[in-house]
């Protein structure tokens, strides 16, 4: 039975749920991705079907299954359960859709509107003949990430739009989907640089045509087929992609709008978009990625900076860090009143074998607690504020002049007496750049830099410094010997909402006083439960009471 009303908790699987499946490959195992979500609060399942090629039995696009035969080195060819079924003449998609609907969850077919994974493997299974044979359609003017994104297709060409529209129409007409997702966020590059905003009307008309096509199919079925759009935060990024999202909202082109910054930035404010969507009756969701992401736009155009993160840097994190950080992002978004949470790429790779056996004992799922403020309340969290860093501190500059990190920690359990707070960042000194060269130690003496949280000075006894060796740090920057600084405070030091951490060097400057750079600011809020996860069978109530706390305005 399909979901009625708008979903609260959306889960996107990029297709690897079946591409990394253990043998034996039987049709009964095709429901594993949705079995993974059984007895969880997730009520809408997005399944990626097109990312340049089709992962279903398409008549209008090349399928990934046919391209497997060309790429003998592809490690997925033998593990992909959907490929095995395809070779047996079995279409796995109706099986997966029926099981999704039987569990009371909506099924949305997801389409990546542009994809550039094949830039890394131009003869691989994601490189279609259409892409290979039509270089004139590519985004050759795009230089971001050392031209990684110029493998995308230019939507200014009608042939590109017709191809994508045909696939969307085919899936909506052939399969009993509840809706379609247009994912503009994975590669938010759709037109040549400098032409994108002028071409925004092309993209708007394309979406309007998709909406009308879904309405015609829905009228035949006597039920509406939903349209979800996923895109990126940031007016500059939207303009660079030719995405006139305010117009899309005003025209009511979508039922659901999902936005992401691709970085799990805890400082992200959603109110302007939320207000626009509420006026038009459009549901608004904030996305939680499966990990932090770096800014892949060029730092130095074509000359690589060896100390900056490489354009293809991947942030590695433990399963515990994933849980702690996802809790923090979810709580910050839910506390702002979004209609729900959208999870991208949180399917484990591979799916645990227990989910291919419905009778098996299932592991605990952290996502069970990420859908409501009640289930998140008083659970340990880690807020990341890597965006906009590093900043540098110089002598005698007052902290309010660009030596302050603003950060948001939202939720009913922030400021509770029962919690403890740890502020953490990396600190390294570099020589004063405006005089002749001299040797500058990268470690400064305690007290050389002072810190203040929300205007209150932090005493030295609250500060712990740990020396770190040279090398790449998790965010990708390469540092010399440096310090990992931790500030330990009672939970009452934090405000629910906006906070500031300020830095100063309280001395008159000397020509050899260093600049001190700050990287990777993080905030831990701890209640002593580590990653105590609920079991898969725990299903929180939507109408749960607010978590009560004993917040106070006292600081350190």
Residues above pLDDT 70, as percent of the chain? 90
Tokens 């038009």, located at residue: 280
Instruction: Say how many C-beta atoms besides its own lie within 10 A of residue 459's C-beta.
Output: 11
With a CB cutoff of 8 Å and minimum separation 6, the contacts of 28 are: none
With a CB cutoff of 8 Å and minimum separation 6, the contacts of 50 are: 61, 111, 112, 164, 167
Which region holds residue 457: left if phi is over 0, alpha if psi is between -120 and 50, else beta? beta
Residues of the chain with pLDDT under 50: 1-3, 299-300, 532-546, 548-556
Extract the tokens encoding 291.
Answer: 């990990």
Same domain, 113 and 87: yes
Same domain, 357 and 478: no
Same domain, 178 and 247: yes
Residue 245 lies in a domain: yes
Extract the tokens encoding 55.
Answer: 């992962």
Same domain, 143 and 242: yes
Q: Are strands 283-288 and 340-344 parallel, antiparallel or unpaired?
A: parallel
Same domain, 44 and 189: yes
Domain with residue 162: its CATH number is 3.20.20
- Burial letters 123-144, b for 16+ CB under 10 A, else e: ebbbbbebbeeeeebbbeebbb
Q: Is the dihedral of CA 161, 167, 170, 174 positive or negative?
A: negative
Same domain, 148 and 235: yes
**φ, ψ for residue 426, nearest 5 deg:** -105, 140
Tokens 């309010």, located at residue: 400
Domain interval for residue 425 = 381-526
In the DSSP assignment, the letter for residue 190 is -
Extract the tokens encoding 421.
Answer: 């707070």
Extract the tokens encoding 279.
Answer: 């006026």
Alpha helices, DSSP H, located in 175-290:
200-221, 235-241, 245-250, 271-280
**φ, ψ for residue 185, nearest 5 deg:** -90, -30
The most distant pair of C-alpha atoms in the chain lies apart, rounded to whole Å, by 78
Give the span between the Cα atoms of 531 and 380, in whole angstroms: 7
Give the span between the Cα atoms of 190 and 152, in whole angstroms: 7
CB 106 within 8 Å of CB 2? yes
Number of domains composing the chain: 2
Same domain, 401 and 359: no
Extract the tokens encoding 488.
Answer: 């330990």
Q: Are strands 256-260 and 283-288 parallel, antiparallel or unpaired?
A: parallel
Same domain, 176 and 223: yes
Residue 85 lies in a domain: yes
Tokens 């969880």, located at residue: 40
Give the span between the Cα atoms of 454 and 326, in whole angstroms: 25
pLDDT in tens, 460-476: 999 999 999 999 999 99
CB 189 within 8 Å of CB 236? no
**φ, ψ for residue 93, nearest 5 deg:** -65, -45
Q: 3-state SS of the chain: helix, strand, coil percent to 5? A: 30, 20, 50
pLDDT in tens, 344-381: 988 777 787 877 776 666 666 788 888 899 999 999 99
Instruction: Find the radius of gyration of the CA atoms of the chain.
Output: 25
In the DSSP assignment, the letter for residue 480 is S
Extract the tokens encoding 481.
Answer: 């010997």
**DSSP notation for 30-45:** GGHHHHTTTTSS--EE
Q: What is the pLDDT of residue 364?
A: 67
Same domain, 468 and 402: yes
Same domain, 89 and 207: yes
In the DSSP assignment, the letter for residue 263 is S
In the DSSP assignment, the letter for residue 224 is P
Q: What is the pLDDT of residue 485?
A: 98
Same domain, 159 and 219: yes
Burial degree of 425 (CB within 10 A; 0-12, 13-18, 19+): buried
Residue 306 lies in a domain: no
Extract the tokens encoding 543.
Answer: 């109408």
Q: What is the pLDDT of residue 292?
A: 79
Domain with residue 462: its CATH number is 2.60.120
Residue 106 lies in a domain: yes
pLDDT in tens, 511-523: 889 999 999 999 9
Same domain, 391 and 353: no
In the DSSP assignment, the letter for residue 84 is H
Confidence (pTM): 0.89
Nearest one of 265, 377, 285 to 329, comparing CA atoms: 265
Residue 546 lies in a domain: no
Residue 447 lies in a domain: yes
3-state secondary structure (DSSP) of residue 133: helix
Q: Which residue among 308, 336, 371 closes a domain? A: 371
CA distance to 141, 275, 425, 480, 484, per residue, from 471 (Å): 34, 44, 16, 7, 13
Give the span between the Cα atoms of 347 and 15, in whole angstroms: 9
Residue 99 lies in a domain: yes
CB 197 within 8 Å of CB 245? no
Give the span between the Cα atoms of 250 and 240, in whole angstroms: 20
Residue 296 lies in a domain: no
Give the span between the Cα atoms of 170 and 454, in whole angstroms: 55
């Amino acid at each position: 039975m399909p979901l009625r009303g708008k979903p609260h908790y959306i889960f996107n699987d990029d297709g690897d749920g079946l591409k990394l499946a253990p043998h034996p490959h039987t049709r009964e195992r095709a429901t594993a991705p949705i079995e993974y979500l059984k007895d969880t609060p997730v009520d809408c399942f997005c399944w990626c079907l097109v990312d340049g090629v089709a992962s279903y039995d398409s008549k209008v696009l090349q399928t990934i299954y046919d391209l497997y035969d060309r790429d003998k080195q592809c490690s997925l060819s033998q593990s992909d359960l959907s490929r095995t079924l395809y070779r047996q003449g079995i279409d796995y998609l109706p099986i997966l859709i029926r099981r999704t609907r039987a569990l009371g969850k909506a099924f949305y077919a997801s389409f990546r509107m542009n994809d550039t994974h094949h830039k890394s493997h131009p003869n691989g299974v994601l490189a279609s003949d259409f892409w290979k044979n039509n270089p004139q359609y590519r985004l050759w003017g795009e230089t971001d990430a050392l031209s990684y994104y110029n493998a995308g297709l230019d939507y200014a060409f009608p042939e590109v739009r017709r191809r994508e529209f045909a696939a969307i129409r085919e899936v909506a007409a052939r399969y009993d989907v509840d809706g379609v997702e247009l994912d503009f966020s994975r590669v938010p590059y759709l037109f040549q640089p400098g032409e994108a905003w002028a071409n925004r009307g092309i993209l708007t008309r394309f979406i309007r045509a998709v909406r009308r096509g879904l309405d015609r199919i829905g009228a035949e079925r006597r039920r509406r087929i939903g349209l979800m759009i996923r895109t990126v935060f940031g007016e500059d990024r939207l303009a660079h992609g030719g995405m006139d999202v305010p117009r899309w909202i005003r025209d009511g082109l979508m039922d659901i709008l999902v936005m992401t910054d691709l970085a799990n930035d805890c400082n992200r404010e959603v109110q302007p978009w939320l207000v626009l969507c509420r006026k038009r009756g459009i549901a608004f969701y904030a996305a939680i990625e499966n990990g932090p992401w770096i800014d892949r736009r060029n730092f130095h155009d074509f000359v690589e900076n060896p100390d900056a993160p490489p354009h293809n840097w991947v942030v590695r994190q433990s399963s515990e860090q994933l849980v702690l950080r996802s809790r923090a992002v979810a709580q910050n978004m839910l506390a702002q009143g979004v209609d729900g949470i959208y999870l991208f790429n949180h399917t484990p790779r591979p799916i645990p074998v227990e989910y291919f056996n419905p009778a098996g004992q299932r592991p605990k799922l952290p996502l069970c607690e990420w859908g409501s403020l009640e289930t998140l309340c008083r659970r340990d969290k880690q807020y990341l504020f890597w965006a906009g860093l590093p900043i540098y501190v110089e002598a005698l500059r007052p902290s309010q002049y660009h030596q302050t990190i603003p950060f948001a920690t939202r939720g009913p359990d922030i400021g509770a007496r029962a919690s403890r707070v740890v502020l953490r960042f990396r600190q390294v000194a570099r020589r004063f750049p405006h005089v002749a060269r001299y040797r500058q130690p990268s470690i400064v003496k305690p007290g050389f830099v002072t810190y203040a949280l929300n205007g209150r000075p932090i005493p030295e006894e609250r500060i712990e410094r740990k020396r770190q060796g040279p090398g790449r740090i998790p965010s990708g920057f390469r540092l010399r010997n440096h310090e990992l600084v931790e500030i330990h405070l009672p939970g009452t030091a934090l405000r629910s909402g906006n906070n500031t951490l300020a830095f100063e060097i309280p001395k008159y400057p000397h020509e050899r006083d260093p600049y001190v750079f700050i990287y990777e600011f993080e905030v831990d809020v701890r209640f002593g439960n580590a990653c105590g996860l609920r079991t898969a069978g725990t299903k929180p109530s939507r109408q749960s009471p607010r978590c009560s706390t004993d917040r106070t305005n006292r600081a350190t």
